[in-house]
Structure 1
Amino acid sequence: MKTVKVNIVTPDGPVAETDANMVIAVTESGEIGILPGHIAMVAPLKIGALRLKKGDATEHVAVHGGFLEIRPDVITVLAQSAEMASSIDLARAQAAAKRAEDQLRAKKDTQEYQMAELGLKRAINRINVYGSRAR
């Protein structure tokens, strides 16, 4: 089965370099499935799970925004932050979600509300990706 090279990079450095048979990402215009040989394109990413299918196995990565650059032989994910499911600290993600929920209830100014909302989305994404690693 054909594979495509996948590089996941954040401002803090590389998160993963691997091969996959298929990559599924959540973009601003919806979910996209990418197979080896896909046409070249660039797409902005939403907060969501990046799925790397390798044979019968699927690796999950929590991605928090950024861009996806697709070339026929290489997929590059330039993310604001990204974590492999295996490296997510569930207790920390749950604590972050609780803090964000508390901040949302406080209903401060618009910018603080938006930051708390974004923090909650990131925490929920991490919790969901952590939970998907057992599947």
Structure 2
Amino acid sequence: MMRLRVVTPEGAKIEAQVTSVTAPGSAGELGILPGHVPLLTSLTIGKLSFVTGGKTVHLAVNGGFMEVHDDDVIVVTETAEEPDAIDVARARASVERVDRDIVQLDAQTQPEKVAQLNRRKARALNRIKTAELHGTPDALRKVREAPPQAGA
């Protein structure tokens, strides 16, 4: 067993005994099992998964860092959202806004703004994918039955 702690600017999000962790490393997906060698790595936008009590839990994370040492795994990330807490309609609206905004920019003269919009889109797409693949059927049904938001 390992101890997993997921920390965001709001405080400790998760603290659990886990048998495995899968994280979106900057160089690719990382699998962590008990006895893993010490590691400090950056994380990218993606899905953090872990197994606790025989159940796999998924979180949409927004980059950050992960440290592994002596069966202690610490993830520090800007956000960590459970699939059922993700507002899929809002995330889809964000993707549409970014697509509209990016068309109006000149990538040659505003590369920083284009990169910022691409990161925003990647975060929204990760939230959508995590919610749709791992949310409960009831939560997804509510999303599909909800009327479209104004301005979306």
Distance 1:12 1:102 in 2: 31
Unaligned regions of 5+ residues in structure 2, if any?
Answer: 137-152
Give me the CA root mean square deviation: 1.6
Report what 1:39 is aligned to. Answer: 37
Aligned length: 133
Report what 1:116 is aligned to. Answer: 117
Unaligned regions of 5+ residues in structure 1, if any?
Answer: none
Structure 1 residue 58: Cα displacement: 1.5
Structure 1 residue 72: Cα displacement: 2.5
Counterpart contact for 1:103–1:113, Cα < 8 Å:
no
Q: Percent identity?
A: 33
Q: Deviations over 1:110-134 (max 9, x none)?
A: 2221111000000001111111214
Report what 1:67 is aligned to. Answer: 65
Report what 1:125 is aligned to. Answer: 126
Distance 2:3 2:74 in 1: 8
Report what 1:30 is aligned to. Answer: 28
Residue identity opposite 1:106 in structure 2 = Q
Question: More strand per residue: 1 or 2?
Answer: 1
Counterpart contact for 1:65–1:80, Cα < 8 Å:
yes
Residue identity opposite 1:128 in structure 2 = K
For normalisation by structure 1, the TM-score amounts to 0.89
Pick which of 86-95 and 21-30 moved more. Answer: 86-95
Please say if 1:83 is aligned against 2:108. Answer: no
Please point out which of 47, 50, 69 is paired with 2:48.
50
Distance 2:84 2:2 in 1: 22
Residue identity opposite 1:124 in structure 2 = L
Q: Secondary structure at the match of 1:99?
A: helix
Q: Deviations over 1:1-38 (max 9, x none)?
A: xx211111111222211222110011112111001121
Structure 1 residue 86: Cα displacement: 2.5
Q: Secondary structure at the match of 1:38?
A: coil
Counterpart contact for 2:23–2:48, Cα < 8 Å:
yes
Counterpart contact for 1:7–1:17, Cα < 8 Å:
yes
Distance 2:126 2:87 in 1: 12
Counterpart contact for 1:8–1:16, Cα < 8 Å:
yes
Counterpart contact for 2:35–2:70, Cα < 8 Å:
yes
Larger gyration radius, structure 1 or structure 2? 2
